[in-house]
């Protein structure tokens, strides 16, 4: 059995509460013997009235409560760095996992900045630790089906979604990257009420648009010369994602998402945040793929 360990700032949050069951369902569905068996948290839930302590969470989800990070690493075959609601602690929270040499999944959003993401990947490479990150929405059935059927290059893509730019926009950026591929060079933001609109331009002249608002639903559109604009539903993604995750834990080297794609997503998101602070201005996305060779990191 593949023993999976959760690492979190504190447990009893949406992802940590639902992913053990999702992983069990996917393990049954795809015939992989795996489950969440151990957990470590830096602290108990800060809400002492409504939040579960680490001990209570482990009892509820039938996990062994590891008192130290080191104990968890020694006890499991694969590690999931959670803390999905706040990306700021991810770099520090993932340090020991990235040094473990065991397969690591880091929940969304991978890092608060492009530079932090690059440091995390470099650390993993130094210790020969296979690692990837993604949003589950990247693996929605409809998007995967569209990718299989479409033989032409996507000329234009448009996405809408809810939440905040810092942590929740990752869902939209993952889908844009999956469809458009690499090559975003600059972006420009416009604000209307509570909504944020960002136009991204690619080196080939292609474009995509990102729109985010507090209660805006997920929508995804893509177009090619042959097909024109098509709507791609954003649903039915968790089991596909869990399938990719479990096979990664089993095979170790087959990364569901390449680090180069994650780094470009981080650069696009970071430039987008800067563009929001400077509406109407073109902001250059200076993503340098040689950063993995410890050369200069370039990103606005």
- The pLDDT score that the predictor gives to residue 296 is 37
Phi first, then psi: give them for residue 135, nearest 5 degrees. -100, 140
- The pLDDT score that the predictor gives to residue 288 is 54
> What is the rounded distance in angstroms from the CA atom of residue 171 to the CA atom of residue 286?
22
pTM of the model: 0.92
Lowest-pLDDT range of 69-73, 221-225, 286-290: 286-290
Contact call for residues 276 and 248 (beta carbons, < 8 A): no
Hey, what domains does the chain have and what are their CATH numbers? 2-136+239-257 (3.40.50.720), 140-234+269-284 (3.30.360.10)
Mean pLDDT of all residues in 77-96 = 96
What's the whole-number average pLDDT of the chain? 92
Task: State the Cα angle at 288 between 160 and 178, rounded to 5°.
Answer: 30
Q: What is the CA radius of gyration of the chain?
A: 19
Mean pLDDT of all residues in 252-265 = 92
- The residues, any chain, with a CB within 8 Å of residue 169's CB and separated by 6 or more, are 161, 163, 210, 212, 269, 272
> What is the rounded distance in angstroms from the CA atom of residue 36 to the CA atom of residue 138?
23
pLDDT > 90? residue 3? yes
- The pLDDT score that the predictor gives to residue 59 is 98
**pLDDT tier, 225 (very low <50, low <70, confident <90, very high otherwise):** confident
Contact call for residues 138 and 175 (beta carbons, < 8 A): yes
- The pLDDT score that the predictor gives to residue 74 is 98
Cα–chain center distance at 117: 11
Mean pLDDT of all residues in 155-181 = 94
- The pLDDT score that the predictor gives to residue 294 is 39
DSSP the chain: -EEEEEEESSS-SHHHHHHHHHHHHHHHHHT--EEEEEEEESS--S-TTTSPPHHHHHHHTT-EE-SSHHHHHHH-SEEEE--TT-STTHHHHHHHHHTS-S-EEEPSS--SSHHHHHHHHHHHHHTT--EEE--GGGG-HHHHHHHHH--SPP-EEEEEE-S-TTTTTHHHHHHHHHHH-S-EEEEEEEEETTEEEEEEEETTS-EEEEEE-TTPPPEEEEEETTTEEEE------HHHHHHHHHHHHHHSS--SS-HHHHHHHHHHHHHHHHHHHSTT--EE----GGGGGT------
- Of 8, 66, 67, the closest CA to residue 37 belongs to 66
Whether the bond into 109 is cis, omega within 30 of 0:
yes
Contact call for residues 167 and 158 (beta carbons, < 8 A): no
């Amino acid at each position: 059995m593949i023993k999976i360990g959760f690492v979190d700032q504190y447990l009893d949050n949406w992802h940590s509460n639902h992913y053990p069951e999702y992983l069990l369902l996917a393990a049954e569905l795809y015939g992989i013997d795996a489950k969440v068996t151990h957990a470590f948290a830096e602290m108990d839930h800060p809400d002492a009235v409504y939040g579960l302590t680490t001990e209570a969470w482990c009892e509820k989800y039938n996990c062994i409560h590891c008192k130290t990070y080191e104990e968890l690493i020694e006890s499991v075959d694969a590690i999931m760095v959670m803390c999905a609601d706040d990306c700021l602690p991810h770099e520090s929270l993932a340090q020991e996992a990235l040094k473990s040499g065991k397969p690591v999944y880091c929940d969304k959003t991978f890092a608060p900045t492009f530079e932090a993401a690059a440091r995390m990947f470099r650390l993993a490479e130094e210790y020969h630790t296979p690692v990837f990150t993604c949003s589950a929405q990247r693996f929605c059935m409809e998007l995967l089906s569209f990718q299989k059927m479409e033989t032409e290059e996507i000329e234009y893509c448009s996405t809408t979604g809810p939440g905040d730019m810092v942590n929740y926009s990752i869902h939209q950026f993952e889908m844009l990257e999956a469809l458009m591929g690499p090559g975003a060079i600059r972006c420009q933001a416009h604000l209307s009420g509570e909504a944020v609109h960002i136009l991204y331009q690619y080196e080939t002249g292609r474009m995509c648009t990102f729109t985010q608002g507090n209660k805006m639903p997920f929508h995804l559109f893509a177009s090619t010369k042959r097909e024109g604009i098509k709507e791609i539903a954003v649903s039915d993604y968790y089991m596909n994602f869990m399938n990719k995750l479990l096979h990664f834990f089993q095979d170790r080297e087959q990364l569901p998402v390449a680090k180069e794609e994650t780094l470009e997503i981080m650069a696009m998101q970071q430039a987008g945040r800067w563009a929001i602070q400077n509406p109407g201005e073109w902001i250059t996305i200076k993503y340098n793929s040689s950063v993995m060779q410890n050369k200069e990191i370039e990103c606005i």
